[in-house]
Chains A and B, each alone.
Chain A
Amino acid sequence: MPIKKVMKANEAAAWAAKLAKPKVIAAFPITPSTLVPEKISEFIADGELDAEFIKVESEHSAISACVGASAAGVRTFTATASQGLALMHEILFIAAGMRLPIVIAVGNRSLSAPINIWNDWQDSISERDTGWIQFYAENNQEALDLIIAAYKAAEDERVLLPAMVGFDAFILTHTVEPVEIPDQEVVDEFLGEYVPKHAYVDPKRPITQGSLGFPAHYMETRYKVWEAMENAREVIKEVFDKFEKTFGRRYHIIEEYKTDDAEIVLVTMGSLAGTVKEFVDKKREEGVKIGAAKITVYRPFPIEEIRALAKKTKVLALLEKDISFSVGGAVFADTSRALINEKEKPIILDFILGLGGRDVTFQNLEEVVDIAKKALEEGVKEEVYWIGLRKEIL
């Protein structure tokens, strides 16, 4: 029987890793993710997890060691955040290009400068073009579940791409919630063992991996990653279906909330979705036709789901904790791409908020709704808004 424990998202991630039984874990401490490998060390120390733990000297080496281990044919795991993920950047491309289904737990944190250890999504959002699947968790249960789902999707032969699962720094990483821990046998059954057939370092098979690809071949390898990411759309749906059947919890690529007759839909990710849903309830009581949508799978970007959502509403208001300077948020850019050739499309507005751990309050969301209403009545004046800026200190 599954048991319920009160735990932080970091612990939930460690539990997920334990349940997935990676053979090699390589990790380096960084706030707010340090507790993940710490907890895993305890599992190993207590004989509850049989894995090699490589205590590397940097995140760059953490992901490099995972690349080596995954290429040698075993399931691998690491956890990081912020600067650590940024330090991994070049190797993230290699992991995807070599089609190694590594899974990273990311405690989503801002990037320096200035130094800031609190939550936003700039770290993983900045890795959106590396060829990694990206999931964002709303709560600690999702952190655990999505890591298990991530392995299932990443290791699927139609995909074979690495995956990262983001959960918000401190808001989730350091906050306790009740989390249901599935039974080991059920997870074993769900995931199976990772047995790569495509390419792996094996003394019995002298093959070369990752060699120089001339212009005559390079582009096709990139196309194969594109194709794999396209395949991931369907595979993730299948994984979520099977997940529900196995564990009883339903996940959606985009989770919609009270969107059916909504004139304004607030679209967001991560733990902010919880706040937004509550806010929607409040506004509904006031008679405002408003809904919410949570993007659980950010890569592959849910183009069809965004189009379906767009058909239902007049304003898509994106609430983002990331910024691509001179453009707006990355989700805004992606959403615009999804709708660019649609004949009928809603107004798309982008709201940058909550950077570096700034609280997102109902007052902020009221401001968002006011701007959205105004755009609906008077037309769009600007696309990108910074919400909650302390103008007095600028």
Chain B
Amino acid sequence: MEIPENVKKRLSLPFEENFYAGHTACQGCGAALGLRYVLKAYGKKAIFTIPACCSTIIAGPWPYSAFNAPLFHTAFETTGAVISGIEAALKAKGYKVKGEDGIMVIGWAGDGGTADIGLQALSGFLERGHDGLYIMYDNEAYMNTGIQRSSSTPYGAWTTNTPGGKKHFLERRHKKKVIDIVIAHKIPYAATASVAFPEDFMKKLKKAQKIPGPSFIQLFAPCPTGWRSPTDKSIEIARLAVQTAYFPLFEYENGKYKINMPSTKKEPKPIEEFLKLQGRFKYMSKDDIEVLQKWVLHEWEELKKKAEVFG
């Protein structure tokens, strides 16, 4: 169907698609949505590096590719290092990297590939100040290998190696705040984003392009397969993650914190609303939920304070 140009202009997201149908993501995959938005944002200005993760599969096996952009597959823990190399080489070849209309060198890695095995390479990339963008799509476990907990898995979650059982063997550690580790590098731009708020995500992608130096976006990306949630509820779950302040949207820009809409709007909803749509939380006791609720509100208060003091 041909869409008239004047309608295209009124759309809140770019019309152009560079992430094609025929990719191999599961139904309701947040990561696939995220890739679609990133490719919309940068079009042919994007060069992707993807470590071994769900997105390796999503992009398609040889000789297929769902990407209308250069895509470089690499080993699990190397994303930060590989994008450093690509950035250096493009600069040596005289390309404009980052900035208005500049080429975007993007590392696209999951939470395991970022918060765990890829943390060192990420730290190196951030610390050395490369002009690139690292996006961690956060589905809160090792989904590609079959739903094992990562350090980004939340308290109380079922995974295949925190399986509940008679001894109540659920995840007992709170979600690692990777973004805080990133911010500790004092990079110019870091932000959280969610597939439930694509316009906000798009705005942040554009900002990441304009601001020189390393940028980092932690993208909340539901995984119906791993979260044991209905495939048509991914957006609702992602929205509730923001509304309950479990995953607030915020930016850290040149030392300043800013909480974004809708995280600023209202008092957080109770965490149960986020939990109840997902089978992975069904083993949690009332006490467990209380523990998680307390943690969520504590973290939320901390973020608000940061925005207040360093806003």
Contact = CB atoms under 8 A, between A and B. Distances in A.
The yes or no verdict on A and B being binding partners is yes
Interface of A: 23-24, 26, 51-52, 54-58, 60-62, 64-74, 76, 90-91, 94, 201-203, 205-214, 217
B71 A26 contact: no
B89 A52 contact: yes
B49 interface: yes
Contacts of B148: none
Contact of A23 (B61, B86, B89, B121): B89
Contacts of B49: 68
B81 A208 contact: no
B218 interface: no
B73 to A, nearest CB: 4
Interface stretch (B90-98, B198-206, B221-229): B90-98
A207 to B, nearest CB: 6
B78 A203 contact: no
7 contacts: A54-B85, A60-B77, A68-B81, A71-B86, A203-B95, A208-B59, A208-B70
Nearest to B84: A65
A211 B59 contact: yes
Which of A62, A71, A206 gathers most chain B CB within 10 Å?
A: A206
Given A68-B85, A201-B86, 20 more contacts: A23-B92, A23-B93, A60-B81, A61-B84, A64-B75, A64-B121, A65-B88, A68-B72, A68-B81, A69-B85, A69-B88, A71-B89, A72-B89, A91-B78, A202-B70, A211-B62, A212-B57, A213-B62, A214-B61, A214-B62
A197 to B, nearest CB: 15
Contact of B84 (A51, A56, A213, A214): A56
Q: Give 5 nearest A-B pairs by CB, closest first.
A: A68-B85, A72-B89, A65-B85, A61-B81, A64-B81
Given A23-B89, A68-B49, A208-B71, A57 B121 contact: yes
Which of A201, A213, A214 gathers most chain B CB within 10 Å?
A: A201
B74 A64 contact: yes
Main secondary structure of the interface of A (DSSP, over half): mixed
Given A68-B82, A206-B68, A90 B75 contact: yes
A209 B73 contact: yes
Contacts of A72: 85-86, 89-90, 93
Nearest to A212: B61
Contact of B67 (A51, A91, A206): A206
Given A208-B59, A212-B57, A74 B92 contact: yes
Contacts of A70: 85, 89
Contacts of A69: 85-86, 88-89, 92
B279 interface: no
Interface residues of B, number: 43
B93 A54 contact: no
A94 B62 CA distance: 16
A54 B84 contact: yes
A213 to B, nearest CB: 5
B85 A212 contact: no
Contacts of A211: 56, 59-62, 65, 71, 73
A211 B59 CA distance: 8
B74 A94 contact: yes
B49 to A, nearest CB: 7
B128 interface: yes
B304 interface: no
A208 B65 CA distance: 7
Contacts of B67: 206, 208
Contacts of B71: 206-209, 211
A68 B84 contact: yes
A59 B194 CA distance: 34
Given A201-B47, A208-B65, A209-B71, A24 B56 contact: no
A26 B125 CA distance: 12
Contacts of A68: 49, 72, 74, 81-86, 88-89
B128 A55 contact: yes
A68 B106 CA distance: 12
B33 interface: no
A64 B86 contact: no
B114 to A, nearest CB: 15
B103 interface: yes
Contacts of B45: 203
A23 B92 CA distance: 6
B69 interface: yes
A72 to B, nearest CB: 3
Which of A26, A58, A69 gathers most chain B CB within 10 Å?
A: A69
Contacts of A52: 88-89, 91-92
A266 B303 CA distance: 71
B281 to A, nearest CB: 32
A57 B75 CA distance: 16
Contacts of A24: 85, 88-89, 92
A54 to B, nearest CB: 5
